[in-house]
Structure 1
């Protein structure tokens, strides 16, 4: 593992779960972890309800945009965390893969996205404790 571990969060659209996870890990890690997120089929934009619930925590996702998953991003990562992308995520030997089963915030109102955000936050903080 490199001096600074690299974590890649992957979901299908890179518009919700992986964006929240990346922002939360980036926030908590304060530079101790390199964080990226991507999607196997990126959406046009980040889910507005996700932007709103993250703003409640003081995290601004308004400038973020969904990014396409690349083989290079997976190869560069020490830990790859998938969130419901199934077989669309390429698998390389020697990587640590985690699959987080999380509800998709797509189409849900803010009240239903908050608990998803909070669960992601708990998992991100556990992951950070393991990496530290």
Structure 2
């Protein structure tokens, strides 16, 4: 049977460029500003900006204005969209190549040895970082130790944050804001900043790999209660995807150090 020739999918052409591939590799680890990416890939600003624009136009990379410096933007990788487009491209070659569970839909992980330790930081520790801490405990079924703190802790956790995760079956009613000073000097596998301002002032944890997720503060949302609830729902969904992907990376790292460990599904 004669097959109809088709051009290579555009996403494969996009990924085949060495600099774009390097930029994507950097963005799998953290959100970055363009100046930081320029320093990491050691290429001119105009060239890096051009290729970031190509990735943005394909919907693989998003930009968000920094809340710490409105003159700069943070770039983040939409790994879920990349996974979808990559599988679609594979399926166009052969249907069996597109059969895979998306990383953002994994439900089980396995960690041998001591539990990985994560610290989530934002300004008030009343919403973003608290929700991230609770989601890690829920998704990892207690296999990962997650903590959270803020540079200027609020008096209490935001009620909408508690209500939002309660809908997901995750309880936060006993959570209280904490100061990041409580954790300085403690070892962590990852320290994740969720607030642009905190990232600028965050102390360095020597034993950890820093990550930045540039996420808007839902407590600043205006409008009706339903509109503010929608902002919290969107944040929970973003955190859920990012955390599932982070757990997959941590599991892979543990596999490389603990012989014989197998990936859960």
Shared fold per TM-score greater than 0.5: yes
- 1:16 aligned to 2:135? no
The CA RMSD over aligned residues, in Å, is 1.6
Question: Which runs of no fewer than 5 residues in structure 2 stay unpaired?
Answer: 1-112, 222-227, 252-265
1:39-89 residue CA offsets vs partner (Å, 9 max, x unmatched): 111001111111111111011112111011126355321110001112231
Report what 1:100 is aligned to.
Answer: 213
Secondary structure, aligned partner of 1:111? helix
Q: After the TM superposition, which segments of 4 or more aligned residues of structure 1 sit over 6 Å from their partners? A: none
Q: Counterparts of 1:64 and 1:92 in 2: how far apart (Å)?
A: 24
Mapped contact 2:118–2:188 kept (Cα < 8 A): yes
Structure with the bigger RCO (C-alpha within 8 Å, sep 6+) is 1
- 1:78 aligned to 2:189? yes
Q: Provide closer, same or farther for how the CA distance between residues 71 and 58 of structure 1 changes in structure 2, counting only shifts above 3 A.
A: closer
Q: TM-score by structure 2 length?
A: 0.47
**Structure having the larger proportion of residues in helix:** 2
- 1:38 aligned to 2:149? yes
- 1:7 aligned to 2:105? no
- 1:47 aligned to 2:158? yes
Q: Counterparts of 2:161 and 2:244 in 1: how far apart (Å)?
A: 19
Q: Provide closer, same or farther for how the CA distance between residues 10 and 64 of structure 1 changes in structure 2, counting only shifts above 3 A.
A: same
